[in-house]
Each structure stands twice: as structure tokens, then as C-alpha cells.
Structure 1
Amino acid sequence: MIRILYIIFISVLSSSLIMAKSKDTTITILQTADLHAYLNKHNELFVEKGKLKFREAGGLAHIKTLVDGVHKENPNGTIIIDGGDFIQGSGESVLSQGRIFPAIVNEMNYDLMIPGNWEVIYGKQVMMDIMTKYNTSVIVSNMYHEADKSALFPPYWITEKQGLKIGFIAYNDPEIPIRQNPMFSEGILFSEVESNLKSLITHLREGEKVDLLFMVAHIGISKQLMLANNQAVEGVDFIFGNDTHERVREPIKGKYALVLEPGSFGSFVGKLDLKIKNRKIADYRYELVQVNPKKYKADKQMQQIIDSLTDPYRSQMQEVIGYTATPMYRYLVVENPMDNFITDALLWKSGADIAFSNGFRFGVPIVPGKDGKQPITREDLWRMIPVDEKMKIGRVSGQQIWNWLEKELNNVFAKNAQERFGGWLVRFAGMKITFDSSKDMGSRLLTVEIKGQPIDLNKEYSMASCNRTGEPLHVLCRMPNAKDVEIKDFTLHQAIVEYLKEIKVISPRVEGRAIAVDLDRNYFSELPEVNYKFR
């Protein structure tokens, strides 16, 4: 009897394997990325026929409806992943130290998540406490405990769908300790992507015998494309990219892999349908699905969980601190209205010659209503500046400023993708520059004016920026060797609130503080070599 049952079992198993090998199947992978704690629907910017358009998008309850609908269509072949920067970017996140997120993530039923560069914002232990409470697999292939060099999370994940063995590896940006406040990532070691990439691919392809292999990378579009053209990535089918908030609508083809990236803030979900024949990808279809709240109604249970967890902070978040009469947004690479407002406030409060802010990519539009103005709330302030550091003022020479600007320009426009770093161009008030982005490092900057006068390379100027806890006192916004540096007793938020109390209604615009002579004034990110443009 046992022998008969064994023969039947082997026959059934063999039949299923033969079916998996011969039957055409579909694997669907849904991706969210860089949510930045935007739990509810919000205003979003779109570029349509060269014009800026604003309308509502996003909201996790709406995403839940979207992904549940896709899962229902292909219940045995759908995988839902998130590529990091999920927990940072809102006031509720800061005030709860991210502890509202496990219940939210678990209701979303993700299959796989990875930490992004901002998951470390509340420190290593808080990150570990939060992510180990997720009822989903969390992986990253290049983050380790500094004390014993052991991995923070498993380096890969394998699942089986439709009789296929599917593997994932994941990489976070190894430059996190430089990009962000050093204290955020204390106790964590990062390795370069290539340090174990080939060995992991070999292990999964040859050792684990996976049929499909994917990489989830939180290192930015340029470096993800560079990886796709690197032979070390051979064996990976698709790179699910994250970090730079790019809206990739057609997979970008590299020599060895294809690259995707599904925008940010939950405004889009990437949907990759793979047609599988003989255990290999025979064809694919990709769609960047806009999360239209009118089309995808909010999932009631998901919305109730979000509301209950954020309700303790609601009155504080809804406090009105000022008004804007013009749309405020980021997204533009060279200059934008939102950061002009922020640096104006920092300059006003500090009394310095020039004020700087980082070229952050997060922050959704604030758009005036029919009455011609829109309240700016505490929630908006946290979204614009989710790290409320104290201000820092010091003295730097004109030559230091010139050299530093050349380096900052290279961080954004370097021809070698490996040299590109962080967000968009650094933002400032009290200064104007012109440059040519097409030139080489050290030759891009054309003119610099400070307080309406050409920069004097031998003169010292007072410079205001944020204090990044953990970095040396002499460093101002990544510029080293400042003199007479002082950490002020007020924070960035306090400076902005006081400024709005004084000005009451602001009207920030793109006004030519930074002009690239070779680029459009409203220049969005693009990769001309692969015909990609943000829209």
C-alpha cells in the first residue's frame, strides 16, 4: 500500500513539474517604492504636453484596492514588493518614531520589502524593531551589524509561484553614512554592491536552481542602469529600482538586465506581467499604473487602520502655519518654488549672507484653491523637512564656495553614473549661479553672485545650513573647513514658522537663482542615452 501511494505521489509530482515546464504561465510583480510615509491621497504633479498639471493621487487604502484586484486576477502568480523608504517623510512618522507602520504594512500583505536609505532615520535599533514586526520577508544583501559583521537581514528570498522557483536579491545604497546624518546609520556596515553580487547570483542560479531572478535596488536610476550594463549582474532578469522617484513607463534596457522604477509617494504602482514558457521569460508587459483615488476606491479596513493610528497626531498636523498664493513643488532638478521658500526663510532667520538646503526629492505639491491661496500646515512642514535639525552658521571663503559648488554640480550631472550622489542640485538663497551641466567636473560653473555682487574668491561669507548630527562641526551642508561655526538654538521648523508668521502669505516661484545655460528652465530629470524623461 505504501509503495502504491509513493508511486502515485511521484507521478503527481512529475506531472506538475512537466506542466510547469510546458504550460504557459503568467507571473505578475507589483512594486511600490519611496512611499515616504504618505499614507493618504495627496496632490501630485504631472507633466502633460509640456505643462504642469496637479491632481490627487496615491493613498495606501487606494493602493490596497488596486493590488487586491490584480491579485484576484492571478492569485497563484502575483508577488507584491516594496523597494524601501516606506517609513520616513511625515509628521506622524516622526512623532511615533515609525511605530505606526507594522500594522499598516501587515494589512497591505506585501510579499517582500527592503530597507531604503531613509529606513535608518530613527537609528539602527528602531529600524530593526519596526521591520522585524512586518509579517513579510525583509531582505538586503549589503547591510551588516558593525559589532559582529553578521547580516541585518537575509541576503535573498526565494518563493514558488505557478510551479516556478523565483529568487530575489536586494541592495541598499552603501553611501548612506555620507548622504545622511552619520548618526542615523551608526552600528551598521555597508558593502559595495559588487562585493557579493556575482556570488549571490551564482548561488541562486546554480545552487538553488531558481528559474527567475530579480534584484531590488535602492541606489538610484543612474547606478541601477549602470548595473544593468555590468556583466556582474548577468543572470538577473529585471532590476526593480528605487530611490530617485523616477517614473519609468517603459523598461530601460541594459546589456544584461532591464531596469524599472515606479515613481514615489504611492502615486504609482509598477505592474510587470511576465509570460513564462519552458520556465523562462518568453515575453513581458509593463505598466506604470497611476493610483487614481476616483478609480480605485479606498479599502475600508485599510483606511480604518490608517485613521486609527494617525488620529492621535491629527490636530497637530492640521495646524495652519501660513499660506501660499502660488503652487509649491519640488521635482525640478535645478531650482524649484518649494525650496526657494525654505531657503528664503532660513536666510531671513539667520541673517547670513547665503543659506543652503539639501536638494531633497520628497515633498508633494501644495496647490492654491479657487480662492487663490492654500493653507500650509504642520503636516506640510514635516513633509518638506522631515528632519528638524538646528541651524548651523559659519564662515567660508569665496574659493571654498566655488569649489564646493563644482562638487555639488558633479553630484547631479556627473557623466560617470558612479559619481552621481544624493538628490537634485543643492538649494540656496542670497546667491545666484549660472553653469553648463554638459561640461566636465571643475568646468561647469560660469558665474556666482552673492547678495547681487560677483563672488570674491578671497572674501569670507557667512553661510547658514542645517546641522547634521554626527558630522564634524566644521562641515556645512557637506562643505568642510568652515570657520567660526556655531549651532544656533533654533531649528529649521522654528525658522520657517516664524517666517510665515511674519510674511503670512508667500508666493514662491522659479526665479533664476540657478540657471543651466544648456537646460530648460523647467528641467526635469532625464537619461538621454536611453530616451527617458520624467513626466
Structure 2
Amino acid sequence: NYLGVDVMVGHWEFTYGKERVHELIGKLDGEFISQNVIDNDPFSDNFEELIFPPYTIKEIGGAKIGIIGQSFPFTSTANPKKFTEGWSFALRHESLQEYVNMLRKEKKVDAIVVLSHDGFSVDQELAKKVKGIDFILSGHTHDPSPEPIVVNDTVILISGSHGKYISRLDLDIKDKKVAGYNFKLIPVASSLIPADKAGDELIAKWYKPFDKELNEVLGTTKGLLYKRDTFYSTFDSLIGMAIQDEMKCDINFNPGYRWGTTVLPGDPILKDNVYEMTAITYPEVYTFDLKGEVIYKLMEDIADNVFNANPLLQQGGDMSRITGASYSIKISAPSGKRISDFKIGGKPIDMKKTYRVSSWGGNLQNVGENLDEKAIRPVYEVVSDYIRRQKVIDIPLESNVKILDMDCGCPVKGATCT
């Protein structure tokens, strides 16, 4: 409400659970809309009905703008089902087309905007399937695009993540349709723009009861600690080292999300920094057995989820970050043939061997055997204890993943470095 959000859709909010989501929406000054979330509980009075309003209409500058909501369509597979049991998430481009048609013909809107958390590449495919959308305001994949992508006359915009950018879209509406537009992606230079006093005060108010805990100095870091990139990050490596140290596992899997505040070399590592990187609503670390062949297939499945040539089969996120292992990957290879030179503990993976595996932030424990229930702990406590013991953290920047068909992380024409 402080930010003045008029309309929003969801993803990680759903991991608070259905009741909490509805409670928070009740406190929102703006509107929460989604045309792609329906009730699929056969015993519910609202079976196959929408959970949220599918669209809203805003009158802005004399123009009538129809806004259709698209929450993350893979929520129930990317996150534990227990949080949204009875709700069905999907892309639902057929019903999206119906709402576009209805807003045009019945509501007589001047422009149609889809507010989306599908992901940038998925939204480009969506624009090929659904006709009549003027703009898609895309999200989920954290991409900043200074110039719009235009697909079948639909303009797709995406504005990065973590408050690094704010974008402005101006529409020229003539004769009940979009005659032109102007878009600008504006970097937010925090070193140049002073903090908003009201914002600082609001944050201080909610942090105050927890200041002592959050400001505990656990240790210091020699190098940069971050949770970004597609395959490797130093904070993920720290988390994995902490888990391996306590759980004595052969290999550890961290979830591939990217958030949290980067800690600069020489800076103290606060308990708040650890929470920023790990404090999800399912933080438990599980330790169990998996066969080598299951681990290898799992890595291929994750790679296909991230890099499938069909964006509609990509479910977002990045590769799971692993510690205790290394591998090479050819992104452009066919499904099931991307991973090579897979080593665990410095030795080639043995498909028949049983490995001790730890993981958190997912459902991998459900396919494992011999789960150590006594060892289950929240990941933020495991990491905090490890930093306290080590006192000084020194994580290498060098990745444990070798990309065979990409020389660097700076794609140029054709998304291939030259």
C-alpha cells in the first residue's frame, strides 16, 4: 500500500497458504486479479470457478484500459502443493482469449493490457496464441528489456527485478484504440537517489521488534556473497557448504531462485542477510538416500525445465545450485542429453551407487529413501551456525558448472557469445 500498487498478480505470495493470501488481499488498497487460477476441489461449492477476479478496468487520462491478470501458471508444480491444495494454476490461453474478446466487444475498452507473471519467453509464446492484446507487462524471469519485444502486434515489456528499474509506459489513444506509445526503462541508482523518509520509517517500524536478532553479526566475508546467476552463486555455495558440514551428505541441492541482498567483500554477515537468502515458508533441510541414476535424471529434468526449446514447457527458475558435485552442460543439446562429466566428490557419478543427499526448498525428499527425520532443521539455522563457527567466510567465484556452448554470460545477437 505504501508503494501505491493499483493492480497485482501473484507467485511467491501463494506459499503463504490460501487463507493468508486472502487475508493479505483483504488489506490491499489495490486489486488482485488472475484469470488463470480456478477452484479444482470437487467437493467445493465453487468447483471450477475463478478464485480471483480475472480482470479490472481503469479509466486513465480519459481512456478505458482493460487489465487482465495472469499469475504464475506453474505455482502448484514449482512450489509445494500443500499451500494451494484445491486451486488449479495453468496458462489458460483459451480463457484469456475469451476475456480479451469480451473486453473489446462488450466493455468497449480502448486498450488491453495483460499483467503477467508467466515469464518473458512464455509471454512471447502467449502473444502468438492470443490475439488482440495491446501490451503484456511481463515478470517472473527478472529480465530488464530496454526495448520492447513485439509479437503479432502485441508489445511485451519487462522491467527487471529487485527494484533496480522502474518503467514508464505512455499510451496515445485515438478513435478507441492505441495509436502509439512511448516506453522507457529507468535505472534506479540507489547511490544517487536519496531514500524516501516515509519508506525508511515504515521499514524501521516493522523491523524494530526483531532488530537484535536481525542485526546479529555472524561473521565476515572476504569475497562477494550473492544469490544470482543461472548455475552458480557464492551465497548458494555457502549454504551448500554449511549443509554438507552439518548433514555429512555427498551432494546438496539448493533451489534456483534469485533474491537477497548482496554482501560486499569485507562486510559483516548479519542474521538478516541469511534470512534474506533463505527465509521461505518451507525452509527445512532434508537428508536422504538417492541412487546415482536418479540424481543424473533429476539434473537432466531440471535442465529441460529451464532450457526447453519450447517456452511453454519452461517452468521458470534456474538450475538447482549443487555443492559436492560438478558437471558440464550443453544448453542447446536435446532433452536428456545436456549433462556430461558429472562428478560427485571429484569422482564420476556411479549410476548404481547410493548417495547421501540433502536438499531444501523443494520436494526432492519425497523421492528419496532413509530420510533422517532427526536431522531436519531450517536452512537459515544451519547456515547461521556454520558462519558463527567459521567466523570468516571465503567462497570462490569460480563456478562448479562448465557451459559448453556459451563462452560468457553476455549474450549478443542470436543469444550466443562470439
For the criterion TM > 0.5, the same-fold answer is yes
- For 1:421 and 1:139, locate their aligned partners in 2 and report how far apart those are by CA, in whole Å: 21
Residue type matched to 2:4 in 1?
A: N
Work out which of the residue numbers 10, 13, 16 in structure 2 matches 1:119: 13
- For 1:430 and 1:273, locate their aligned partners in 2 and report how far apart those are by CA, in whole Å: 50
Q: Which structure: larger Rg?
A: 1
- C-alpha contact 1:317 1:377 (8 A) present in aligned 2: yes
Consecutive unaligned residues of structure 1, counting only runs of 5 or more, are 1-104
Consecutive unaligned residues of structure 2, counting only runs of 5 or more, are none
CA change 1:416–1:170 in 2 (3 A) is: same
CA change 1:379–1:161 in 2 (3 A) is: same
1:254 is aligned to: 151
CA change 1:528–1:179 in 2 (3 A) is: farther
**Aligned pairs, number:** 410
2:337 is aligned to: 443
Could you list the per-position Cα deviations for residues 127-166 of structure 1 after superposition, in whole angstroms to 9, with x for gaps in the alignment? 1111121112221112234432343321110011222111
- For 1:249 and 1:242, locate their aligned partners in 2 and report how far apart those are by CA, in whole Å: 14
- C-alpha contact 1:328 1:365 (8 A) present in aligned 2: yes
Could you list the per-position Cα deviations for residues 172-197 of structure 1 after superposition, in whole angstroms to 9, with x for gaps in the alignment? 12221110122222342324321411
| Cα shift at 1:108 | 2.8
Equivalence map 1:168-183=2 (5 Å): 168-183=67-82
Could you list the per-position Cα deviations for residues 297-321 of structure 1 after superposition, in whole angstroms to 9, with x for gaps in the alignment? 3333343233223322222211111
- For 1:151 and 1:295, locate their aligned partners in 2 and report how far apart those are by CA, in whole Å: 44
Could you list the per-position Cα deviations for residues 256-306 of structure 1 after superposition, in whole angstroms to 9, with x for gaps in the alignment? 412111111222112112223333322222111122235443333343233
2:386 is aligned to: 499
Could you list the per-position Cα deviations for residues 215-245 of structure 1 after superposition, in whole angstroms to 9, with x for gaps in the alignment? 0111111211111222x2x111110011111
- For 1:459 and 1:280, locate their aligned partners in 2 and report how far apart those are by CA, in whole Å: 63
CA change 1:532–1:221 in 2 (3 A) is: farther
1:166 is aligned to: 65
Could you list the per-position Cα deviations for residues 455-496 of structure 1 after superposition, in whole angstroms to 9, with x for gaps in the alignment? 11111111111265xx5xxx33xxx63221223242211211
Equivalence map 1:383-394=2 (5 Å): 383-387=276-280, 389-394=283-288
Structure 1 residue ranges (4+ consecutive) displaced by more than 4 angstroms after TM superposition: 526-529
- For 2:348 and 2:254, locate their aligned partners in 1 and report how far apart those are by CA, in whole Å: 21
- CA RMSD for the aligned pairs? 2.1
- C-alpha contact 2:251 2:344 (8 A) present in aligned 1: yes
Residue 205 of structure 2 aligns to a residue in which SS?
helix
Give the stretch that moved more between structures: 161-170 or 208-217.
161-170
Residue type matched to 1:260 in 2?
A: L
| Cα shift at 1:414 | 1.1
TM-score, length of structure 1 as denominator length: 0.73
1:428 is aligned to: 322
- For 1:202 and 1:527, locate their aligned partners in 2 and report how far apart those are by CA, in whole Å: 38
| Cα shift at 1:445 | 1.3
- For 1:302 and 1:377, locate their aligned partners in 2 and report how far apart those are by CA, in whole Å: 22
Residue type matched to 1:397 in 2?
A: K
Residue 356 of structure 1 aligns to a residue in which SS?
strand
1:322 is aligned to: 219
Higher relative contact order (CA 8 A, sep 6+): 1
Could you list the per-position Cα deviations for residues 81-114 of structure 1 after superposition, in whole angstroms to 9, with x for gaps in the alignment? xxxxxxxxxxxxxxxxxxxxxxxx1x33322222
CA change 1:282–1:505 in 2 (3 A) is: same
Work out which of the residue numbers 370, 394, 415 in structure 2 matches 1:484: 370
Equivalence map 1:194-273=2 (5 Å): 194-230=93-129, 232=130, 234-273=131-170
| Cα shift at 1:528 | 5.9
- For 2:170 and 2:194, locate their aligned partners in 1 and report how far apart those are by CA, in whole Å: 23
| Cα shift at 1:422 | 3.1
2:269 is aligned to: 376
Residue type matched to 2:110 in 1?
A: D
Residue 186 of structure 1 aligns to a residue in which SS?
coil
Percent identity between the two aligned chains: 28
TM-score, length of structure 2 as denominator length: 0.92
- C-alpha contact 2:302 2:319 (8 A) present in aligned 1: yes
1:66 is aligned to: none
Work out which of the residue numbers 387, 394, 403 in structure 2 matches 1:516: 403
